Amino acid sequence: MTDVTQHSEDRRGPVLPPWLKKLAATLLTVAVTLLGLLFVTFMIGRVMPIDPVLAVIGERATQAQYDAAFKELGLDKSLIEQFYIYVRDVLSGDFGKSIRTGQPVTTDIARVFPATLELATLGTIIGIVLGVPLGVMAAVYRGSWIDQLARFVGLIGYSMPIFWLGLVGLLIFYGILDWVEGPGRLGVFFQGLVPERTGLLLVDSAIAGDWTVFKDAFGHIILPACLLGYYSLAYISRMTRSFMLEQLNSEYVTTARVKGLSERKVIWRHAFRNIRIQLITVIALAYANLLEGSVLTEIIFAWPGLGSYITTSLLANDMNSVLGGTVVIGTIFVGLNIFSDLLYRFFDPRAK
């Protein structure tokens, strides 16, 4: 019987370890997701009511010039061949040239993305620092004024248009009170004073020790970052409250209280400790949403980030730039979801 079993296993081949199977499944999921993302962006470029040839050569070109450009762009090939060429170029880091700037799209994205990254990161930090304690306190003092305040803050954050809050914020804190700097990322007189190392102005000015530039950059970023942080706070606080309520109603919390543990230890060492894993996913999603959803904020505050770049390119019929930016944002969103899933598996023994 043993020989038969051994012979059967030999015919099936070696059995892969579970972690290798999970890794293969994860990589396959990522590959299919990114392929689907590329397919969607490819089809967007084909269904848009914009002639890519005219966008490149202009409307005054002759028919011969049009035909030559049509063939050079590969539009004479079938859609399957075009999609294959598109995927091949994207995987090699080639998004084509920007019609508006005349530079490779990858160069443009590398130039504007640090501004979006800095803004979204600071906004997420504000949302975490304020949203997590607010959500915990709302759950602990359920039904109190703290809970009502948390609900009100979340309701305003979800219902108020971000462009309206941005305009009101500029009017009050910049126009009337003069507490912050105006639109843009840096004052005109401070341009080029700090060597660009990371592309993050706050980091670069701190490394250079130029605190005057740091103060000016902080004055420009604080208002849009607080605006994005408020929307992040609304989401994080609501989810934190929901997670904490579930834990506080559990039997182990009642047992801990019966044993005489202080309320502080019950809340932070027991209940909050068990929701940290869930918060990782929530924070990752909030961060991804700010990275991809800061378009209106960047436009209102004239912030030279990726969202503003995509919008300007769309208005200029520069589809290479639009599709390149869309692929980058989609890839980041997928990557952050995978990263949060890996952290979830790392911190939660049950997921292992």
Per-residue pLDDT of the chain (352 residues; tens, 9 = 90+): 555 555 554 555 556 677 677 767 777 887 888 888 888 888 877 777 777 777 777 777 788 888 887 887 777 788 888 888 888 888 888 888 888 888 999 999 999 999 999 999 999 999 999 999 999 999 999 989 999 998 888 888 878 888 888 899 999 999 899 899 988 999 888 888 898 898 899 999 999 999 999 999 999 999 999 999 998 999 999 999 999 999 988 888 888 888 888 888 888 888 898 888 889 888 988 898 888 777 888 989 999 999 889 888 888 778 888 888 888 888 888 888 888 777 777 766 555 5
Q: Where are the domains of the chain?
A: 21-91, 109-347
What pLDDT does 11 receive? 54
CATH architecture of 109-347: Orthogonal Bundle (1.10)
What pLDDT does 349 receive? 57
Q: Taking CA 110 as the corner, what is the angle to CA 109 and CA 116, rounded to the nearest 5 degrees?
A: 75
What pLDDT does 162 receive? 83
pTM of the predicted model, to two decimals? 0.84
CB distance 240 to 153 below 8 Å: no
What pLDDT does 243 receive? 92
Please give the Cα distance from 135 to 140 (Å, whole number).
9
Q: Residues for the chain: how many in total?
A: 352
What pLDDT does 69 receive? 79
What pLDDT does 352 receive? 54
CB distance 57 to 66 below 8 Å: yes
For residue 103, which phi and psi values (nearest 5 degrees)?
-110, 160
Side chain identity, residue 233: L
CB distance 53 to 66 below 8 Å: yes
Please give the Cα distance from 299 to 296 (Å, whole number).
5
Round to the nearest angstrom and report the end-to-end CA distance of the chain: 34
Please give the Cα distance from 305 to 92 (Å, whole number).
24
CA 337 from centroid of its chain's CA atoms: 10
What pLDDT does 145 receive? 92
Within a 10 A sphere around the Cβ of 70, how many other Cβ atoms?
A: 16
